[in-house]
A = this chain, B = another copy of it.
Amino acid sequence: MIAVHSTYKRKRNRAVRERALILAASRLFASRGFEATKTREIAALAGCAEGLIHRYFNSKSGLLMALIRQRVSQEVIDLHEKLPVAATLEAEIVQLVDWETRRMWDEREFLKVTLPRAFLDARLGRLITRTTLARRAEAIRQRLNTFKEHLPQHELDAVAEFVSAIAFVFGFSRPVILRQNTEENRHTANVIAGIFARRFRQSSPGRNGRN
């Protein structure tokens, strides 16, 4: 009984410590960059010993990889659960852009850590594409598929790409990299989405044309 408890506790502790280290690393890598962050600082912020970074993750960059792997596995595509599909394709596109733009902003810390590494490491770049972006794109594509009668297949992909591109730029690049105002960028994203989506407005009976 004691042994079990002890084992359990040890396991629990390890899991807790691992998470603490990953969280601390995530924060510090994002704000100072990977190489400028010292292992000592990570350990201090996580509240445990420096040596654990090497015991658990082998090395500083092992911790980085663990950080990425963890996020990738956490990544849950909750689009369907949390966001009801809109009534029209036009509305759906606008709503997707808004949703994804917000999500990119929420993900900014992870992206700040990941992107600069992906610049340098082709494998990492492809890993992110495969595990994160591709899955999201697929989820978006599925939702759009609801409207397939108003959306030729060859355009469906383009719309999905449009959504994630606009979300990335106005949800992450502009506010995070270039320090532009978050709200304004979200607004811009919406205006652009509106113009883009207009193309897919279903003509109401008796009205035609651009206006």
Which A residues form the contact surface with B (CB < 8 A)? 31-33, 35-36, 112, 115-116, 118-120, 122, 125-126, 128-129, 133, 154-155, 157-159, 161-162, 165-166, 168-170, 173, 176-180, 188, 191-192, 195-196, 198-199, 201, 203, 208-210
Is B112 a contact partner of A177 (Cβ separation < 8 A)? Answer: no
Central interface residue in A112, A154, A169, by most chain B CB within 10 Å: A169
Is A155 a contact partner of B210 (Cβ separation < 8 A)? Answer: no
Is A125 a contact partner of B159 (Cβ separation < 8 A)? Answer: no
Indicate which residue in B118, B157, B192, B203 contacts A210 across the interface (CB closer than 8 Å). Answer: B203
Q: How many copies does the complex hold?
A: 4
**A199–B200 Cα gap in the complex (Å)?**
10
Contacting residues, chain B, for A126 (C-beta < 8 A): 178-179
Can you list 5 pairs linking A and B with CB atoms under 8 Å apart?
Answer: A118-B178, A125-B179, A161-B188, A161-B192, A162-B196
